Amino acid sequence: MKKLIVLCMIAILACSFCLLAACSSGGEAPVTSIEFASLEDITLSSSFDSESVDVHVYPADADVSDITLTADIEGYVEIEKMTRLFDFEERPYVVVSFSVSPIYNGTVKLTASSQKYSVSTTTSITVIVENADDMPVTDSSEKALLTRGGWSEAMISSFVSVRTQTGTALAASSLTESNGAYTFIGADKDTYKVVFENEEVSSLYDCNGERKIYPNNGVILTAEKLDDSKAALRANAEKIVKDRLTYPLTADFPLFAWVYNLDTESCDTAFVVSSVTAKNAFGVPIEMTFAIEYKFDKQGNFTWQNMMIDTEFYTNPNA
């Protein structure tokens, strides 16, 4: 009798293991590897065409719900929604199809990945656009991107002119619009915002610092450029302050108490603030605070515009 009970218990345990194994095999297997289907290049008749790219995900019963395809920022590739292909052929992988729309000639780096299973692979494709449009800008990819963003020919022409002045090269696939302002990524990876008025660029901002860089004749005075000019600004400030003192030979300037500020609205103006001790008309040494406004040109040269020494205000007649 005892042997019968033991045999029954063994049989029950065996059945339980079988049931557990059956249940555990019911879900999709984890992704073990990803590879791109054979694709050496993409040839498009125009920059607005798209091409399908297939990715093979192993094994055949893998969960592909989180498989994504991304492109490097230089690629100008638009990724559309993934679709899973179903067929009943026997094969060791799942085919996942993506639609990509390259809009420039060159090499694009693609990455397929699964965050859920930490698997990824990359490949590069060559894009050939056979019939590039005759565009008023040198870079057809830029024209295509702006057209897709809803810009008119007049807006594109105006923007190209402004970004040429400011040196703001467009180099990203992202372009968003909000309340009439368009935000984009520049070649320097900074974020920019452009505002239009009657299809003409009314202002351009470097959003990283909220600096208005147009209109200002393309002069962009940065903190680094100001640092490079501090010694020259100080020497100039001491000279023009001395020229307006009663006894310039008695002028004594502080060694460290100098302040240099940027005008982040105009981006071409800086202010220098310090003090000087010198004899007044009565021969008595007094300390006076001064502030000078400087304007920079595209070459980095500066000219003083206005100056205040204590309560006296001066304007440069040659500015």
**Tens digits of residue pLDDT in 249-279:** 999 999 999 999 988 667 789 999 999 999 9
- Report residue 116 as tokens: 């859920």
| Largest pairwise CA distance in the chain | 127
Once rounded to an integer, what is the mean pLDDT over residues 69-77?
65
Q: What is the pLDDT of residue 141?
A: 67
Q: What pLDDT does 257 receive?
A: 94
Q: State the Rg of the chain over Cα.
A: 34
pLDDT at 259: 96
Alpha-carbon span 177 to 210, nearest angstrom: 17
pLDDT top residue among 239 and 83: 239
11 pLDDT tier (thresholds 50, 70, 90): very low
Nearest by Cα to 158 from 190, 101, 199: 199
What pLDDT is attached to residue 60?
85
Scan for tokens 């100080």, then name that residue.
Answer: 234
Query: 94 or 136: which carries more pLDDT confidence?
Result: 94
Enumerate the domain spans of the chain.
Answer: 33-129, 140-214, 223-315
Least confident of 89-93, 97-101, 136-140, 276-280: 136-140
**Mean pLDDT along residues 61-86:** 73
DSSP 129-183: ESS----SSS-HHHHHHHHHTT--HHHHHHHHHHHHHHT--EEEEEEEEETTEEE
> Is residue 28 pLDDT above 80, yes or no?
no
- Across residues 95-112, what is the average pLDDT? 76
Is residue 103's pLDDT more than 60? no
Nearest Cα neighbor of 106 from 129, 79, 126 is 126
Q: What pLDDT, on a 0 to 100 scale, did the predictor assign at position 4?
A: 40
The mean per-residue pLDDT over the stretch 107-123 comes to: 87
Top-level class of domain 33-129:
mainly beta
Q: Binning pLDDT at 50, 70 and 90, where does residue 22 land?
A: very low
Top-confidence residue, 210 or 293: 293
21-30, 101-110, 129-138, 260-269, range with the lowest pLDDT: 129-138
pTM (whole model) above 0.85:
no
Q: Which residues contact 126 (CB under 8 A, 6 or more apart)?
A: 40, 41, 42, 106, 107, 108
The reported pLDDT for the residue numbered 18 is 44
Mean of pLDDT over the chain: 78
Q: What is the pLDDT of residue 48?
A: 60
Q: How confident is the model at residue 23 (pLDDT cuts 50, 70, 90)?
A: very low
Residue 275's nearest CA partner among 294, 293, 295, 252 is 252
With the CA atoms of 206, 212, 217 and 221 taken in that order, what torsion angle do they form, in degrees rounded to the nearest 10? Answer: -70
